[in-house]
Amino acid sequence: MAIPDPNWPRWIVASVSDHFKDVADDIELPLLVEGVDEREAEKIRAMNHFELRIHGPETKEVSKGYFRLYVEINLLVTSFIGGAKQNAHEMTQFLGLIQQAASEDIPVYRYGLTPEVDDESFLGCLKPDSARSEAVTVFNFGEIDRERHIRQSAVDGRYRMELTV
């Protein structure tokens, strides 16, 4: 029986972070990656932003040397209501673009700082899990803080990747 590669979680987190960093740059919305950007958290939490959380991978050896990896991605979007230039539909616009990016295949590369294993080559693709009709879902939580006028929504995605070792 083959065992999962201990580098898979790191490569997945780095690649997913990179994918959504590109989205953040395009829509000019700061991204906070849980476990990576902790020092920036307090500064970012005072403005419109989104946060990325990655759960997994859960690995299952389907047959000898053939693995199916399952990953869940959660993107929490926070928007501060108010101000003269506030667009009433800004949150919805952010959500649409983030949902679009979450609905794409996410390429996974061997990113890291150890040249022996982290050669930045392509590993595989995380694909929205088509076995679930709700592979990518938007949740609207509404105004969660009436004093500070904070709204939150989330985009959740479930993905799978198949690898042969």
Are the beta carbons of 94 and 50 closer than 8 angstroms? yes
Pick the CATH number of 8-164 from 3.30.2000.20, 3.60.70.12, 3.40.50.2000, 1.10.8.100: 3.30.2000.20
Whole-number Cα distances in Å, 99 to 41, 44, 131, 155, 158: 23, 21, 18, 6, 12
This prediction has a pTM of: 0.89
φ and ψ at 88, to 5 degrees? -60, -20
Q: What is the pLDDT of residues 10-52, one digit of tens each?
A: 999 999 999 999 999 999 888 989 877 665 656 565 678 889 9
Strand partners, 80: 150
Q: What is the pLDDT of residues 91-129, one digit of tens each?
A: 888 899 999 999 999 999 999 999 899 999 999 999 999
pLDDT of amino acid 92? 87
Contacts with 12 (C-beta within 8 Å, 6 or more apart), sequence order: 54, 56, 57, 69, 71, 108, 126, 161
Q: Which two tokens stand for residue 120?
A: 């930045």
Domain boundaries, the chain: 8-164
Q: How far is CA 165 from the centre of its chain?
A: 25
Q: Per-residue DSSP letters for 60-114? A: EEEETTEEEEEEEEEEEEEEE--STT--TTHHHHHHHHHHHHHTS-EEEE--SS-
